[in-house]
Amino acid sequence: MRTRNPVAKDYYGILGISREATDDEIKRAYRKLARQYHPDVNPDPEAHEKFKDINAAYEVLSDDQKRQIVDLGGDPLAPGGGAGAGPGGPGGAGPFVGFQDIMDAFFGTAAGGGGARGPRPRTRPGADAILRLELDLVETAFGVEAPITVDTAVLCTQCSGAGTAPGTHLATCETCGGRGEVQSVQRTFLGQVVSSRPCQNCQGHGTVIPQPCPTCAGDGRIRTRRSLTVKIPAGVEDGMRIRLAQQGEVGPGGGTAGDLYVEIHERPHDVYSRKGDDLHCRVTLPMTAAALGTRLTIKTLDSEENIEVKPGTQPASTLRVRGKGVPHLRGQGRGDLFVHLDVKTPTKLTADQERMLRDFAKTRGEDVAELSKQGGFFSRMRDAFNGH
């Protein structure tokens, strides 16, 4: 009688990724789903089972050899490789031998029962976290100490990361005897092979938690909201990230926390636009002010500057004020301020303005319309107004 092995799990489908996914894509998919279905976040019993499947899928796909077994149609977490029937068993239907089993036979990692990999540690490093922080231009230019609120996993104070209820301890797994692995004997074309697989009872840890901590449900960490203060250096730009070491997610079993990255987003300013360390603004001048010259008072980010507009200044001119931009991030001076001038030509003149221009035209024997078309109009009007 031919027996049928269970169908291998679709670990790619569990994480919602393609079979060509990279290691980084696998890790991102796992983190996203783990945060969604973690028991601390989602108390639904179905979510708890989903969380177990997500962990199993990540365990398989993040291991190159286990992933290859999956790609060959097997299941590295199932008894005997879980990839269907093959020759050599009773009635010609023995268990399928996966790629890992053949490698073990050649290199001795599992053959004859030697070379066991040992139990997996319960304590693992935590993931990094990222937080978006919006700041004004003045804050990014000169730096600020900004309060932030972080929602991450932290060490469970009830069990100090052990995952066990008060007064209880981890117990040795009865299935694997604390080895974290179970062995199975299979017939192959190479002969009899003894292969090792992670113990399903303890998930390869070698120990079990008889009484999980009621606060963290055995994970050794809980999610909480906490307040921090981040020091933003002067000169940071939009999109930059500030790294706060070990302020991210605490790892399973109370493992070392990952890092927290604070991503800077600069709010648009009402007056200034920024390009690197330089600032730009636009100022509109009357035609007469550009022609005769004037003095502007510009309010910069940290002071007021008097800027001279020389007589005869042409439309679309740019004035440069050195050292009034944004401080360099590395503390080497400051950028510059660029003032772009828009010269406004009046569409309707007052009676005094019209009389003044007509008198000016008469003294030159020229028509006002023709005069305005000539390139030297501004300089000649300046000379006339100055009595030359």
User: Annotated binding residue at 216?
Assistant: yes
CA distance 32 to 57: 13
* Stretch 14-36: mean pLDDT: 89
* Stretch 303-329: mean pLDDT: 91
- Residue 133 confidence (pLDDT) above 50: yes
Q: What is the pLDDT of residue 52?
A: 87
Query: 272-367: same fold as 11-72?
Result: no
Q: What is the pLDDT of residue 362?
A: 62
Where along the chain do its domains lie?
A: 11-72, 272-367
Of the candidates 188, 162, 179, which has an alpha carbon nearest to the alpha carbon of residue 99? Answer: 188
Residues 11-72, CATH architecture: Orthogonal Bundle (1.10)
The DSSP line for 95-106 is EPP-HHHHHHHH
Q: 4-13, 138-147, 163-172, 276-285 — which is least confidently predicted?
A: 4-13
Q: What sign has the CA pseudo-torsion 229, 232, 237, 243?
A: negative
User: Annotated binding residue at 156?
Assistant: yes
Beta bridge partners of 386: none
Q: What is the pLDDT of residue 291?
A: 78
The answer to whether the CB of 368 falls within 8 A of the CB of 361 is yes
User: In this predicted model, which residue has the larger pLDDT, 348 or 182?
Assistant: 182
Average pLDDT, the chain: 80
* Stretch 156-176: mean pLDDT: 94
User: Annotated binding residue at 199?
Assistant: yes
User: Annotated binding residue at 176?
Assistant: yes
- Residue 82 confidence (pLDDT) above 50: no
Strand extents, DSSP E, 136-276: 144-155, 171-172, 181-188, 191-198, 207-208, 221-232, 241-244, 260-266, 273-275
pLDDT grade for 49, boundaries at 50, 70 and 90: confident
Pick the CATH number of 272-367 from 2.60.260.20, 2.60.40.10, 3.10.20.740, 3.40.50.300: 2.60.260.20
Per the structure block, which two tokens stand in for 244?
Answer: 């706060």
User: Annotated binding residue at 281?
Assistant: no
- Residue 266 confidence (pLDDT) above 80: yes
- Residue 367 confidence (pLDDT) above 60: no
Longest CA pairwise span in the chain (Å)? 120
User: In this predicted model, which residue has the larger pLDDT, 16 or 353?
Assistant: 16
The answer to whether the CB of 78 falls within 8 A of the CB of 70 is no
Ramachandran category for residue 83: left, alpha or beta (phi over 0 → left; psi -120 to 50 → alpha): alpha
Q: What is the pLDDT of residue 38?
A: 79
- Residue 6 confidence (pLDDT) above 70: no
Q: What is the pLDDT of residue 354?
A: 67
- Residue 87 confidence (pLDDT) above 60: no
- Residue 111 confidence (pLDDT) above 90: no
Phi, psi of 78 (to 5 degrees): -90, 155
